[in-house]
């Protein structure tokens, strides 16, 4: 065997030995890391239970921390406290999860409040429009009454005069004023009902609305 061949064979043998040694060290390193990881499970879980206040949340956080630890095992310094290192990873996971939950709750709270405000304002505006429509119908119907009926209605309902006051101002008996007011009220109710039904029929041809009266009861 020539010197060159001898050197080549020794070099290949050395490379094989180095390769085997490197693989053994890597395998031994992984085993040691996994062994440390297994030993740290109980103390880290206890720490997380105290931190989160929930066994279920602690287990989920520890599981996430284990995955991160395996991914970043090269950053662990041998000879240092492995449990403390894993606790730090787990604490970071818990903080990130807490921040995400807080942000989600805040967004949901803002959405709920905004929805409530919009819904409340919509109902208020709808009620205002309905009330305005009722008053407009009532005003049109009031103007359509004969003068003597309109004067009685305005005097009794708008100005607050009593039947006796109206009787004295018109020279009629209170009972007659009450009957006249009753007839005027019925005429107004029929008029408002007719206008409401006409408007609803125009807006919704297939629906028949229930009309509302806005006058108080007239004493008989």
Q: Sketch out the chain's domains with CATH numbers.
A: 3-104 (1.10.1740), 145-220 (1.10.10.10)
Cβ contacts of 167 within 8 Å, gap of 6 or more: 173, 174, 176, 177
CA atoms within 13 A on the CB side of 157: 21
Quick check: 111 and 71 in contact, CB under 8 A?
no
Q: What is the average pLDDT across 83-101?
A: 89
Q: How confident is the model at residue 199 (pLDDT cuts 50, 70, 90)?
A: confident
> Full-prediction pTM beyond 0.75?
no
Q: And the tokens for 115?
A: 């929805």
**Cα gap 133→131, rounded to integer Å:** 5
- Answer yes or no: are the C-beta atoms of 191 and 144 closer than 8 Å: yes
Give the whole-angstrom CA distance, residue 33 versus residue 211.
81
pLDDT score of 57 more than 70 = yes
Stretch 107-117: mean pLDDT, rounded? Answer: 58
pLDDT at 74 over 70: yes
d(Cα 187, Cα 181) in Å, to the nearest integer?
Answer: 10
Proportion of the chain above pLDDT 70, given as a percent? 68
Q: What are phi and psi of 206, to 5 degrees?
A: -100, 5
- What number is the average pLDDT over the span 21-26? 41
* CB 178 within 8 Å of CB 163: yes
Mean pLDDT, residues 42-59 = 90
Q: Report the SS3 class of residue 54.
A: coil
C-alpha to C-alpha distance for 199 and 90, rounded to whole angstroms: 67
CA distance 206 to 214: 25
- Find the range with the poorest average confidence among 12-16, 86-90, 102-106: 12-16
**Greater model confidence, 127 or 108:** 127
By the 10 Å C-beta count (0-12 exposed, 13-18 middle, 19+ buried), 81 is classed as exposed
pLDDT for 200: 65
């Amino acid at each position: 065997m020539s010197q060159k061949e001898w050197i080549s064979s020794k070099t290949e043998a050395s490379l094989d030995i180095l390769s085997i040694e490197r693989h053994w060290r890597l395998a031994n390193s992984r085993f040691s890391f996994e062994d440390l990881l297994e030993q740290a499970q109980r103390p880290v879980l206890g720490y997380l239970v105290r931190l989160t206040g929930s066994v279920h949340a602690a287990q989920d956080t520890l599981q996430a921390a284990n995955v991160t630890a395996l991914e970043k095992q090269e950053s662990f310094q041998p000879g240092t406290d492995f449990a403390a290192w894993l606790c730090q990873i787990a604490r970071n996971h818990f903080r990130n999860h807490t921040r995400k939950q807080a942000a989600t709750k805040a967004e949901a709270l803002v959405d709920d409040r905004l929805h409530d405000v919009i819904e409340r304002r919509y109902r208020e505006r709808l009620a205002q429009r309905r009330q305005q429509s009722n008053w407009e119908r009532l005003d049109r119907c009031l103007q359509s009454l004969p003068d003597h009926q309109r004067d009685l209605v305005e005097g009794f309902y708008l100005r607050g005069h009593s039947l006796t006051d109206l009787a004295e101002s018109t020279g009629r008996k209170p009972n007659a004023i009450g009957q006249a007011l009753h007839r005027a009220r019925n005429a107004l109710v029929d008029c408002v009902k007719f206008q409401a039904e006409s408007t609803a029929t125009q807006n919704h041809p297939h629906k028949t609305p229930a009309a509302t009266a806005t006058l108080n009861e007239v004493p008989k």
